[in-house]
Amino acid sequence: MSATSFKGRTVLITGASSGIGAALARRFAVAGSRMALAARRVERLDALADELAGSGAPKPVVVEADLFDDRVPPRLVRQVRDELGHIDVLVNNAGVGYSGRFEDHAPEQIEHLIQLNMRALVRLTHLVLPEMIERRSGWILNVASTAAYQPIAYMTTYAASKAFVLSFSEGLWAEMRQHGVVVTSLNPGTTRTEFFDHHGWNKAREMFMKRAMTAEAVAEIGVRALARGKPSAACGKGNRVLAAISALLPRSWSARLTAKALRPAGS
């Protein structure tokens, strides 16, 4: 399949205020896309919009959106349509992760993860798809993770949420082929972003950071995979090898190996 150009396309990116989302915004700006950037930290989005406009790209629309709130996805889509017209590309990037003992996580933390990583992603996808199907044109990039490939002890909820995103995206990729709509799961390994700053990742962070990629490299792989209509893309050779090994290992082995590696001190 020949690669698509996103020049002039309208792209909505969630979680664009930092990390992979911001890198994707910069990458789509280079491609000449028109953009809407959504997240809670609106001052970050404004700064990014100014930066992109300063580099000659069309100035993105900034939308303050807390996707923990169930009412926000329909509002977000409505606002983007009002300001930019139909959405050609949806990038479901916003996500959070926690490491540590499941029983120690606060209920609100768990709810936030489930809401953001899965419910909001599915809701936004469901909101934009009918128009894409009608137009026989559209692209959805869902940011999963290499955590999707196997169970990971002490990152249980996060890994399970990303397994959901990968499976959802691949299934939908096949459903949407007949409609001319592409759905791609982008599966980064450890990436240097603010992701690990927030959520008590101490032990996992040390272990994972050794092999970290840049957000820019991840964004490049994501946009290329989407343009080529791929169902999913693991980021980097090391992560592709990891994915292949994970597929061969019994899942109980992965669970036990990760439990050994990531068990918090004193457990």
Ligand X SMILES: NC(=O)c1ccc[n+]([C@@H]2O[C@H](COP(=O)([O-])OP(=O)(O)OC[C@H]3O[C@@H](n4cnc5c(N)ncnc54)[C@H](OP(=O)(O)O)[C@@H]3O)[C@@H](O)[C@H]2O)c1
Distance CA 169, CA 163 (A): 10
Question: CB-wise, 17 or 232, nearer to ligand X?
Answer: 17
Q: 3-state DSSP call for residue 128?
A: helix
Separation between Cα atoms, residue 33 and residue 175, nearest integer Å: 26
Applying CB under 6 A, which part among 53-61, 74-82, 93-101, 166-174 lies near ligand X? Answer: 93-101
Among 33, 125, 145, 169, binds ligand X (CB under 6 A): 145
Q: Is 98 a catalytic residue?
A: no
CB of 23 closer than 8 Å to CB of 218: yes
Stretch that binds ligand X, among 2-10, 28-36, 89-97, 239-247 (CB under 6 A): 89-97
Q: Does 185 bind ligand X (CB under 6 A)?
A: no
Q: Is 172 in the site for ligand X (CB under 6 A)?
A: no
Find the binder of ligand X among 5, 7, 8, 41 (CB under 6 A): 41
- d(CA 131, CA 111) in angstroms, rounded, equals 30
C-beta closer to ligand X: residue 4 or 115: 115
Q: Which is nearer to ligand X, 179 or 199 (CB)?
A: 199
Does 93 sit near ligand X (CB under 6 A)? yes
**Binding test (CB under 6 A) with ligand X, winner from 62, 116, 141, 182:** 116
Amino acid at 102: F
User: Does 21 contact ligand X by CB under 6 A?
Assistant: yes
The rounded distance, in Å, linking the Cα atoms of 156 and 160 is 6
Neighbour-count burial for 15-33, b at 16+ CB within 10 Å, e otherwise: bbbbbbbbbbbbbbbbbeb
Note whether 20 binds ligand X by CB under 6 A: yes
Instruction: Supply the minimum distance, in Å, between the C-beta of residue 95 and ligand X.
Output: 2
Alpha-carbon distances of 115 from 12, 37, 108, 174, rounded to whole Å: 19, 19, 10, 25
Distances (CA, A) of 232 to 99, 184, 186, 235: 25, 5, 6, 10
Residue among 111 and 134 whose Cβ is closer to ligand X? 111
Active site residues: 158
- The footprint of ligand X (CB under 6 A) covers 14-15, 17-21, 39-41, 44, 65-68, 93-97, 116, 143, 145, 188, 190-191, 193-195
